[in-house]
Amino acid sequence: MKILHIIAAPAAGGAEVYVKDLVNNSAHFGITPFLLFISHAIDIGRCEVYEKQFLNELTENGVEFSFLPAGSRRNIIKGSLGFKKLIKGIKPDLIHSHLLTGVVHKVISFSSIPLIYTHHNSVINTNTLLFRLLLSFCKGHIGISKICSDILQKYLPSNKKVTTIFNAVDLKRLNISEKRILDKHQINLLAVGSLTSQKNYPLMINAIKLLKENSNQKFHLNIAGEGDKKSELLKLVSDLNLIDTISFLGNRSDIPQLMSESDLFIMSSDWEGLPISLIEAQLIGLPSIVTDVGGCSEVITQTSGGILINKGDKVKLSEQIESLFDYAARVNFAEKAKLNASCYEINASIESHQKYYSYFIPNGKIN
C-alpha cells in the first residue's frame, strides 16, 4: 500500500519526529510511504540545518518526499492546486494527514482518495464548527494518546469511533555511541521542546530559582529547542541571575546523546499530546519529572519511570527535582523505565497503522 503522509515541515517537533520514524521503517511492513511537507522549516521560523539532516535521513532510508509550492501555507488555493498535482503523480492508496491544513488541501482538491487524520495534541485550537466540518471529510480518525482520542471523539458523531495508536520511537535512533560524564559532582537536568507558551518554561525557570536557593547540590539545566519565546526566556534567566545555571542549546539533532549524558528529564508543559521527548527519555532510562497534562500520565503510569506534578506548580516541581538528587532514587526510576517502555517502540505503531489502513483501502492491498 502507498501512503501519503502530510506534516508541517521537516522541523524539530514531536509530530514531525514521530512521522519521520514511521516512514523510515514502513517499508519493512509492506508500506510505501511518501512524505509531503506544507512548508520548509525556515518558513515557520525553524532551523535550516535541522531540515537538512531530516531530509538526509529520509533519503538514506529511501523515503520520497516533496514540498508544496512556496507560499502555500498562507495561500490555500495555491497549496491545494499543488497538492492536486502531486497526488495525481504519485497515486497514493490513502492520505494520512497529521495536521488540519493537510485536511483542507485534500478537501479542496476534490480527490476521492481515502483520508485519515491524526490528532497530535490535547487541545483544539480551531473553531469548533470548522473543526467538526473538517473531521467529517475524514474516513478515519486517530489519537496519539487516550486523552487525545477522548477529546477528538467529542467532535465526531456517535457512529464514528476514534482509534488510539500511541506515539512511538525508533529504537535504532536511540543508540548511543559513547556516554560522556560531564561532571560527576553535578546533576545534569534536561528539557526538550519548543520555546513556546505551551511548554511553560517560565515555570521551570522559576522552579530552578527556588531549587538554587534551597539546595547545596551542584546542578545545571540544559534546554534544547527554539521558538518565539526565546528572547523573553533569556531575559528571565538573566533577571533571576541564573545564567550560570541554565543553558539554551537551540535545536539539536542529538537528543538521545544529550539524554544519555543527563541525570533527569523535566517538562513543565501546560498541555501536550503524547510527548516524543518523554517517550525517548523513558526508553533510554532517564528518570522524568513532568506535568500531568495530555498523555504524560499515560506514559508515566505505564513505565513507572518518573513523577507527575500538577501543571503550574513551581514549588512542587522544585521539590521533586530535589528529591531525585538522590542517586538511588534515580536508579530505581531508570530501571523501571527501561523495563516497561517497550510498548512505545515504532514497530508496534507501524503494525497498528498497517491494520488500520487496510480498512480503508480496497482489498487491503499490501505491496
List pLDDT tens digits, range 303-324: 999 999 999 999 999 999 999 9
pTM check: above 0.75: yes
Tell me how far CA of residue 203 lies from CA of 213, 228, 267, 299, in angstroms. Answer: 16, 17, 10, 22
Strand 264-267 vs strand 163-164: parallel, antiparallel, or unpaired?
Answer: unpaired
What is the average per-residue pLDDT within 176-196?
78
The residue written with cell numbers 507558551 in the block is 197
Quote the percentage of the chain above a pLDDT of 90.
83
Residue 150 neighbours by CB distance under 10 Å: 13
pLDDT tens digit sequence for 247-288: 999 989 899 999 999 999 999 999 999 999 999 999 999 999
Query: Which of 60-64, 190-194, 362-366 shows the lowest per-residue confidence on average (mean pLDDT)?
Result: 362-366
Domains of the chain with CATH codes: 2-168+345-364 (3.40.50.2000), 172-344 (3.40.50.2000)
What is the average per-residue pLDDT within 221-226?
96
3-state helix, strand, coil in the chain (%, to 5): 45, 15, 35
Strand 94-97 vs strand 2-7: parallel, antiparallel, or unpaired?
Answer: parallel
Could you tell me if 324 and 342 are in contact, meaning their C-beta atoms sit under 8 angstroms apart? Answer: no
Mean pLDDT score across all residues of the chain: 93
Residue 366 neighbours by CB distance under 10 Å: 14
367: confidence class by pLDDT, cuts 50, 70, 90: very low
Grid coordinates belonging to 94:
490513502
pLDDT tens digit sequence for 70-111: 888 778 888 889 999 999 999 999 999 999 999 999 999 889
